Structure 1
Amino acid sequence: MSTSLPGLAARLAGRPGAVALVESRKGLSRATRRGELVGHCHHIARALHDAGVRPGHRAVVMTRDAHDLTAVCYALGLLGAVPVLIEPRAEVGRCLQDVAPDVFIGEPAAQWGRRALGWGRPHVRISLVTGDSPLPAGRRLTTRTPADGIPLPRAGGPAGDGPALIAFTSGSTGRPKGAEYRHSTLAGQLDALTTLMDPRPDDVLLAGFLPVALLGPLLGLTTLAPAVNHLAPARTPPEELVGPLLEHRASIVLASPAVLTLIARHCARHGITLPSVRQILSFGAPLRTALAAALRGAVPQDAELLSVYGATECLPVSAIGDHELRASRAAPPAGHAGTCLGRPLPGVRARVLDADATGLGEIAVSGATVSPAYHARPDADAVTKSDTDDGVLHRTGDLGRLDDEGRLWFLGRRAHLVTGTGFGLATEDIEATADTARGVRRTALVGVGPALCQLPVLCVEPLPGTSRAAVLAAVRAVLKDHPEGHRVGALLIRRGFPTDPRHNSKIDRLRLAGWAAGRLRGRGR
């Protein structure tokens, strides 16, 4: 039988009495043991087969329930079908046009949306509803019934390193694209995460991002899925994060800076410490030293804080601890402004392509963790993928450098480069300096006007309770010490930046630039 998720049966077969997944919401927890999860997967796989799901079918799975997402994706893997994950707030209709799914499995809200907006027409032939809410028209898929002992039909799909999963990008920097993962891609990601986490039998992983619930049990970890607001993570009530973390003694926390900020602030506000935490992995956007310092106030002294770099197409790529991050910020090597991303992980090779005289170019990655292609997007493959002796090389769209120690430095997205008359400003170059100013929560550099003659505008989000004038003065002071700081043509205060829907950490610069242009026009009247 095919197991599209690598080594699924073997990875889940051991320790059947150990807890695989804990769902927590409003103070109530629901645990699923590894043996129970295997039983649920086999029951779901039987139901999927009876509904007509076959090897090679592409099946969109859209639910915010951690158990249902995990069990359904595993069951699809058992059948040799290909789970498809799409960001609920992405351009779902266009994503479904790209992937042409045979199957749509979703909670009632997703099914209502599919019917009302015509998602997946005319491709979807099998529609199944998960969850306990009132149903739209469709067949219910029961997800928590143990297997009845009836053997599954043998999957007749192609052997070898075939498609295992399609994960769509968030679309925060352009149209969402479906990154194809093969069996070897997922296996490479699990190996890389194992290297990063060094999991122990008694570890509990708090998943601050829903798809992490898919990987946690395969890593052998008890995975805690708190009630994160997956449509707006930064609006999650912090007690829904910290309460379960304390109750279940989470030892590893994997979350975006927006979610980690909620945890850090809640702990500081209420004098809470997190004695069980031995490791925090921040992903989705660079970890700022101020947030790292706030987290340090809540965790044991010997806890490890890692800023992890990667993307949907290549995750993870590199990591850096907060102590090295702080040291790199205080004394960067000559010509290496921006944010240090650390060294590539074992098995991952990073290069900088099309570098200028300073070594600044586009970061490209090859290795076992790299998605080999986008689904049905040969245009995107032509721009970002190339074959090398190290396998597929993926252009990330990120600007960066490599220093003499083999560490990557991040300077921002290539698409976000602010180009004025005779100069170009990389966003992370300016922001990494401006964010150190007293009273600043974060900053964002955007360009106003047409390319090659843009006005660089720095938007500043102050900390609550700070003086507007004092914050602007502090930013101007730190920019004076930056060699390109004099090129910033305007400073604008804005309380709250538009961000990506997935992590609430990446700034939506297109919207912010439009707002800045409007403010500057208003000033001129």
Structure 2
Amino acid sequence: MTTTAPGVIARLAGRPDATALIHCRRGTSRTVGRGHLVRSCQSAARALHRAGVRPGHKAVVMTRDAYDLTVVAYALCSLGAVPVLIEPRAEVRRCLRDVAPDVFIGEPLAQLGRQVLGWGRPHVQVSLVTGRPPLALGRRLVTRAPGGGAPAPLPREPDGDELAVIAFTSGSTGRPKGAEYRYATLAGQLDALTALLDPRPDDVLLAGFLPVAMLGPLLGLTTLAPAVNHLAPARTPPQALVEPILEHRVTQILASPAVLTLIAGHCARYGIALPSVRRILSFGAPLRLHLAEALREAVPDATEILSVYGATECLPVSAIDDHGLRATRVRPPAGQTGTCLGRPLPGVHPRILDAGPTGIGEIAVTGPTVSPAYHGRPDADAATKSVTARGVLHRTGDLGRLDDQGRLWFLGRKAHLVTATGSALTTEDIETTADTAPGVRRTALVGLGPAGCQRPVLCVEPLPATSPTAALAAVRAALEGHPDGHRVDALLPHPGFPTDPRHNSKIDRPRLAAWAAERLRGRTR
């Protein structure tokens, strides 16, 4: 067996006795050392090669098990194959049509879906099952190496331009697309995350999102993968998050607002403190102040709480702590609306394209964390990518502006701009004001009707203890102080917004707009 490319194994080789991964499942946890993880990756690589996996093969990996995902992805890289990561609830058939994978590796449920729904047909040549599958589902890939023994010699380091991973977007704002990460892209992302995390030797990182569990060991961190419900993170039992934080003395948390809401709520409900936590990073959707303040109640005063901005195609881009976020909300700079995303990370260069008189335009980014292309989607590349002196410039689809301090501001998705007759309302501008109303969990502005003459409707999700009537009244009062508040044509209470499957934090506005249109059908303006 020959090996090509993969520096990921080399990154794990140091400190073989240190803990790489703490894997939680069904109330138990399993600790995996770095040396054992390396041996498991190399053992899995040999099994993959025997099964027919070769350099350059594109291999879909579909499992909700953090350990299996980590071992399989690293093993594929060590063969020079390319892991393909797809959201389990995404448009899998269309994603696989874009990729045309040679290999499909998945847990039993994913393999059942492949067989019944024909995923990957006719491209898949090698199919392997992780976990403990029934025999009918196919050949099993063992991901746990036998104990003892030294790791095999390390394969060569890859060239930075070699394709490392294809990671699909969640599809929460359109059809999912496969972002290509070169090895240089991965290195840039790891460098940026290292700058954000400022890791220490004794740090324990709680990964609230599955791919973070895969990246954590590459950052040199002991990584705790809690038993998150990856098909619906917001439905995870809160104790499955809080108890491991206390047991393993977690120092850093990376999670979406939905997962952080579970942690903060559980701590508040039972009077639990999290004394070991020194940094919290929120990503996947803007961090609201009420959530930051709820988290503050559970952690030491010195804990840093960061809202991190980025996308699958460029992660991370910028960050701001909750103190800075609070300052921009209490005393917003003149002319600034929306949510402050903070200053760009080192080496990352945001630009505002097609800006109007207010300075608002589309956020575009260059830098080492930017994916250079989409796989099999030249149409998407043409719409979002261009080559500049600083490298590939990626259009994010987000509206924003840069202020005179070099900070980036977010105004919402370009596709979600509400254009009424004679006016245009950005979602983040209206919602950051409406979300301050007491008794309100969150709000969402949607436009009903064709662009240019849409009806602006604000949907309101009350907190459980607040009546819909009281929540609507509080939002009306908050909007009275907003210069465009009077343009919102209707307020509708909603019991719980539909959200993206990956983070349960981004609001599914097309579904919400369809619901609002049905509710308002027949009403007069």
TM-score range with shorter-chain normalisation?
Answer: over 0.9
Given residue 483 of structure 2, which amino acid in structure 1 is its aligned partner? P
CA distance in 2, matches of 1:10, 1:299: 35
Post-superposition CA distance 1:120-145 (Å, at most 9, x none): 00000000010024243311100002
Matches within 5 A, 1:222-241: 222-241=222-241
1:153 Cα offset (Å) = 11
Deviates more, 1:356-365 or 1:462-471: 462-471
2:320 corresponds in structure 1 to 320
* Identical residues among aligned pairs (%): 75
**Residue in 2 aligned with 1:391?**
391
Rounded to whole Å, the distance in 1 between the matches of 2:275 and 2:187 is 32
Partner residue in 2 for 1:360: 360
Which residue type is aligned with residue 513 of structure 1? A
**What is the CA–CA distance in structure 2 between the aligned matches of 1:289 and 1:15, rounded to whole Å?**
40
* CA distance in 2 between partners of 1:39 and 1:153 (Å): 11
- Structure 2 gaps of 5+ residues are none
The letter of the residue matching 1:381 is D
Aligned to 2:165: 165
Partner residue of 1:202?
Answer: 202
CA contact under 8 A between 1:4 and 1:183: conserved in structure 2?
A: no
Counterpart CA distance in 2 for 1:199 and 1:150 is: 26
- Aligned CA distance change for structure 1 residues 456 and 201 (closer, same or farther; 3 Å): same
Match of 2:41 in 1: 41
Partner of 1:448: 448
Does the aligned pair in 1 maintain the 2:70–2:214 contact within 8 Å?
yes
Distance 2:226 2:154 in 1: 35
Conserved 8 A contact 1:4-1:163: no
Pair 1:470–1:160, CA change in 2 (3 A): closer
Distance in 2 separating the partners of 1:223 and 1:278: 15
Query: Any residues of structure 2 matched to 1:112-127 within 5 Å, and which?
Result: 112-127=112-127
Q: Does 1:32 align with 2:32?
A: yes
Decide whether aligned partners of structure 1 residues 142 and 451 sit closer, same or farther in structure 2, where only a CA change above 3 A counts: same
Larger displacement relative to structure 2 (328-337 or 261-270): 328-337
- In 1, distance between residues paired with 2:508 and 2:376? 26
Separation (CA, whole Å) in 1 of partners of 2:336 and 2:56: 46
Conservation of the 8 A alpha-carbon contact between 1:108 and 1:136: no
TM-score (norm 1): 0.97
Return the alpha-carbon distance in structure 2 between the equivalents of residues 134 and 115 of structure 1.
13
Return the alpha-carbon distance in structure 2 between the equivalents of residues 477 and 349 of structure 1. 39
**Partner of residue 276, structure 2:** 276
Distance, in Å, in 2 between the alignment partners of 1:183 and 1:469 is 53
Q: Note if contact 2:314-2:371 (Cα within 8 Å) is conserved in structure 1.
A: yes
Aligned residue number for residue 311 of structure 1 = 311
Aligned to 1:111: 111
Which whole-Å CA distance do the structure 2 matches of 1:405 and 1:524 have between them? Answer: 46
In the alignment, which residue of structure 1 is the partner of 2:16? 16
Offset at residue 473 of structure 1 (A): 1.5
Structure 2 partner of 1:403:
403
1:476 is displaced (CA, Å) by: 0.9
**SS at the partner of 1:359?**
coil
The separation in 1 between residues aligned to 2:153 and 2:115, in whole angstroms, is 31
Question: Contact (CA 8 Å) 1:348, 1:366: kept in 2 or not?
Answer: yes
Partner of 1:260: 260
- Displacement of 1:369 after TM fit? 0.1
- Structure 2 CA distance for aligned equivalents of residues 81 and 468 of structure 1: 53
Matches within 5 A, 1:53-452: 53-146=53-146, 159-452=159-452
The 2-side partners of 1:40 and 1:189 are apart by 25
SS at match of 1:511: helix
**Secondary structure of residue in 2 paired with 1:69:** helix
In the aligned structure 1, how far is the partner of 2:476 from the partner of 2:491? 9
Partner Cα distance (2:25, 2:92) in 1: 27
Amino acid at match of 1:499: T
The Cα offsets for residues 228-257 of structure 1, whole Å up to 9 and x where unpaired, read as: 000000000000000111111110000000
Bigger shift: 467-476 or 439-448?
A: 467-476
1:2 Cα shift?
A: 5.9
CA distance in 1, matches of 2:268, 2:522: 39
Contact 1:129 1:135 in 2 (8 A): no
Change in Cα spacing, 1:181 to 1:429, as seen in structure 2 (3 Å) is same
Q: Separation in 2 of the partners of 1:149 and 1:241? A: 34
Taking only aligned residues, the RMSD between alpha carbons, in angstroms, comes to: 1.7
Is the Cα–Cα contact under 8 Å of residues 4 and 155 in structure 2 kept in the other structure?
no
Structure 2 letter corresponding to 1:285: A
Q: Which amino acid aligns with 2:256?
A: S
Residue 160 of structure 1 deviates from its aligned partner by 4.9
Question: Which letter maps to 1:488?
Answer: V
CA displacement 1:242-285 (0-9 Å, x = unmatched): 01111111100000000000000000000000001000000000
Measured against aligned partners, the alpha-carbon deviations of 1:336-395 in whole angstroms (never above 9, x if no partner) come to 100000000001000000000000000000000000000010000000000001000000
* CA–CA distance in structure 2, aligned partners of residues 3 and 424 of structure 1: 53
Q: What's 1:477 paired with?
A: 477
Q: Which amino acid aligns with 2:269?
A: R
Cα drift, residue 437 of structure 1: 0.6
In the alignment, the residues of structure 2 paired with residue 281 and residue 208 of structure 1 have an alpha-carbon distance, to the nearest angstrom, of 10
What TM-score does the superposition give when structure 2 sets the normalisation length?
0.97
The equivalent of 1:466 in structure 2 is 466
> Alpha-carbon deviations, 1:148-197, whole Å to 9, x = none?
77968978x98552100000000001000000000000000000000000
Structure 1 residue 450 displacement after superposition? 1.2
In 2: Cα distance, 1:9 partner to 1:233 partner: 29
The equivalent residue for 1:495 is: 495
Structure 2 CA distance for aligned equivalents of residues 362 and 73 of structure 1: 34
- Could you tell me how far apart the structure 2 residues matched to 1:256 and 1:105 are? 27
Give 5+ residue unaligned stretches, structure 1.
none
Counterpart AA for 2:41: C
